[in-house]
Amino acid sequence: MPSIQISDETHRSLVTLVAVLQQVLQIPPGDQAASPPIRKGRRGRGNIRHAPKRLRRILEGNKYILEFEGGPRQQWSLPRMSDRAGIRRVTHGAEKFVLENEGTKGQANGARKKLTDAGYHIRN
């Protein structure tokens, strides 16, 4: 990195300015908390995983399968798309299965979304 030369007077002024700002903002001398943190990894939602176990959602033929990584698995027969009561039974059963097996609310919502994305809507 290239360096620049400044006069002693300018340097003293900058040191004084930093000292005044630290006093006004109540930052201890030499404290690094004032500098922004360095971010590594993904941007956006971040790379933090909130769910303790991954959930696979599979629509295969006329079956809907939910499977936790290394854990329980459940499957349902899919009703006709016009059978609202049957869709409600499968949707609520899937959400209940996820929550009973320590899944997150987001995973339960994802289980419902997989069905609605495939056209299985409870309401018209």
Q: What is the pLDDT of residues 17-64, one digit of tens each?
A: 888 888 888 887 665 555 556 555 545 556 666 788 899 999 999 999
More confident residue, 14 or 42: 14
In angstroms, the CA 70 to CA 53 distance is: 8
Report the predicted TM-score, pTM, of the whole model to 2 decimal places.
0.60
Instruction: Quick: pLDDT tens for 66-112.
Output: 999 988 999 999 999 999 999 999 999 999 999 999 999 999 999 99
Residue spans per domain, the chain: 55-117
Q: Which of 20, 38, 39, 19 is nearest to 30 (CA)?
A: 19
pLDDT in the model for residue 26: 82
- Tell me the two tokens of residue 66: 């939910």
The residue whose two tokens read 């360096």 is: 3
Instruction: Name the nearest CA neighbour of 84 among 43, 42, 58, 116.
Output: 116
